[in-house]
């Protein structure tokens, strides 16, 4: 499973079964109440199972279960298991940017390269570069198709571009003048595919300085 370069942990909790799983490092781990780095907590078979990965990400949500909410702000229910997740920044990380087959539209895959179902349309005007960290963020939904949505209610609406992708598009940002760039201000526009987009700043309220 790929989360770009951001580190994630998952707490696996199985209320009915205390069976042991074999991790990628050939280590036996009891599923009940165990916290490990993502990628070590899921069996090797599941790591290459695109259906499981689609299932995992489709059920990813903010943790409002009343359990571990401070330690693990996200979770993904899976039958009897509760997969509680903590990460350095965002649980959804965009891995690449390419044109959709038989289309001129650009798309961003996230989570894993094993499936073509975890995709988001590229929305250049909604990119956000945090002036404090330099990290680049993008919506996880089509914002233009979700008018009236309360962005402040769900930070899963924001995904992080992996370092490789951020470097690839980083030179396409423009600032109002060089001084604002040096002073740590966010860029005001982005050039892509022959067009210049004025940045909407729609995600700024969901990206905090600590990120």
Any idea what the Cα angle at residue 30 is, between residues 32 and 91, rounded to 5°? 65
Q: Enter the tokens of residue 43.
A: 């069996």
What is the tens place of the pLDDT at every residue in 92-146? 999 999 998 888 899 999 987 777 889 999 999 999 999 889 999 999 999 888 7
pTM: predicted TM-score of the whole model, two decimal places: 0.77
């Amino acid at each position: 499973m790929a989360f770009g370069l951001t580190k994630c942990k998952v707490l696996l909790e199985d209320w009915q079964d205390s069976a042991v799983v074999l991790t990628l490092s050939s280590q036996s781990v009891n599923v009940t109440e165990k916290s490990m780095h993502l990628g070590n907590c899921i069996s090797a078979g599941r790591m290459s199972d695109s259906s499981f990965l689609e299932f995992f990400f489709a059920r990813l949500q903010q943790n409002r279960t009343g359990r571990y909410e401070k330690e693990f702000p996200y979770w993904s229910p899976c039958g009897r298991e509760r997969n509680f997740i903590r990460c350095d920044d965002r649980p959804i990380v965009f891995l690449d940017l390419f044109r959709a087959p038989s289309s001129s539209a650009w798309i961003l895959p996230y989570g894993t390269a094993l499936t073509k179902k975890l995709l988001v349309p590229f929305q250049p005007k909604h990119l956000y570069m945090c002036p404090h960290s330099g990290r680049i963020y993008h919506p996880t939904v089509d914002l233009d198709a979700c008018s009236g949505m309360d962005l402040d209610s769900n930070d899963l609406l924001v995904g992080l571009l992996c370092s490789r992708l951020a470097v690839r598009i980083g030179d396409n940002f423009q600032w109002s003048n060089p001084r604002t760039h040096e002073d740590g201000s966010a860029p005001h526009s982005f050039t892509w595919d022959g067009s210049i987009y004025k940045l909407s700043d729609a995600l700024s309220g969901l990206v905090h300085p600590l990120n």
